[in-house]
């Protein structure tokens, strides 16, 4: 977390959290979802505006964390902004390496070690890692297939609807809390 964010949390510790305004899609892109977008439907059916500004994306990614109950958020100064997820809290990017498993890095830039691999009913590949759970980016499926064919990863099968409970994440904090996060979630802790 950025130092300026920590300072803002100390200065204003009780700013209410918000839900529904920020989302992460299955390709690792961030979306702002204004009132009109939210009224048009749930994410990802109504996506909103993709965040193109590089420094803003980097700021979000440096201050992106999960709660113990699996809700993911962006700490925007003193305000916690809960994130709607299309597929998982992380989108994994893979870098092929000769003779070994590919390097796995989150959309936030964090390098992780793979603990297990899972395919859902749509054929999407998810990885449980020491840094959390996520979906392999579609552009990196060749490197993933090479790891599977080499016997480095052995994906199990799991229905997508079972993944949030199994791996401890919440796809929609807005739906979970009906748009009103618990007051204690906004506290500095």
Interval 101-133: pLDDT, tens: 899 999 999 999 999 999 999 999 999 999 999
Average pLDDT of the residues in 20-45: 96
pLDDT of amino acid 13: 65
CA angle 168, 174, 180 (to 5 degrees): 115
* Count of the separate structural domains present in the chain: 2
Q: Residue 123 — φ and ψ, nearest 5°? A: 85, 10
pLDDT of 6 higher than 70: no
pLDDT of 10 higher than 70: no
Q: Could you tell me if 121 and 148 lie in one domain? A: yes
Q: Could you tell me if 81 and 97 lie in one domain? A: no
Q: Supply the DSSP symbol for 185.
A: G
pLDDT of amino acid 105: 97
Q: What is the CATH number of the domain that holds 13?
A: 3.10.540.10
Q: Could you tell me if 75 and 7 lie in one domain? A: yes
Instruction: Classify 156 as helix, strand or coil.
Output: strand
pLDDT of amino acid 99: 76
Interatomic CA distance for residues 102 and 113, integer angstroms: 10
Q: Could you tell me if 81 and 138 lie in one domain? A: no
pLDDT of amino acid 11: 61
Instruction: Classify 154 as helix, strand or coil.
Output: coil
How confident is the prediction for the chain on average, in pLDDT?
Answer: 91
Short-list 181, 87, 64, 180, CA closest to 133 = 87
Q: Could you tell me if 99 and 160 lie in one domain? A: yes
Q: Could you tell me if 117 and 148 lie in one domain? A: yes
pLDDT of 188 higher than 60: no
Q: Could you tell me if 120 and 80 lie in one domain? A: no
Q: Could you tell me if 45 and 107 lie in one domain? A: no
Q: Could you tell me if 141 and 77 lie in one domain? A: no
Higher-confidence residue of 78 and 55: namely: 55
Average pLDDT of the residues in 74-96: 94
pTM of the model: 0.88
Q: Could you tell me if 100 and 137 lie in one domain? A: yes
List the domain range (segments joined by +) for residue 41.
Answer: 3-86+171-186
Q: Could you tell me if 70 and 100 lie in one domain? A: no
């Amino acid at each position: 977390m950025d130092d300026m964010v920590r300072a803002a949390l100390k200065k204003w510790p009780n700013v209410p959290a918000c839900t529904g305004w920020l989302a992460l899609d299955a390709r690792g892109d961030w979306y702002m979802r204004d009132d009109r977008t939210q009224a048009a439907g749930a994410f990802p059916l109504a996506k909103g505006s993709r965040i193109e500004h590089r420094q803003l994306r980097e700021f979000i990614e440096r201050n992106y964390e999960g709660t113990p109950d699996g809700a993911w958020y962006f700490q925007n100064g003193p305000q916690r902004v809960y994130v709607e997820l299309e597929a998982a809290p992380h989108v994994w990017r893979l870098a092929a390496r000769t003779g070994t498993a590919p390097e796995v890095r989150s959309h936030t830039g964090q390098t992780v070690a793979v603990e297990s691999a899972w395919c859902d009913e749509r054929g999407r590949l998810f990885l449980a890692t020491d840094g959390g759970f996520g979906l392999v980016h579609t552009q990196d499926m060749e490197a993933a297939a090479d790891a599977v064919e080499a016997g480095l990863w052995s994906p199990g099968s799991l229905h997508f609807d079972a993944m949030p409970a199994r791996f401890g994440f919440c796809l929609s904090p807005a739906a979970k809390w009906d748009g009103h996060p618990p007051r204690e979630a906004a506290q500095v802790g």
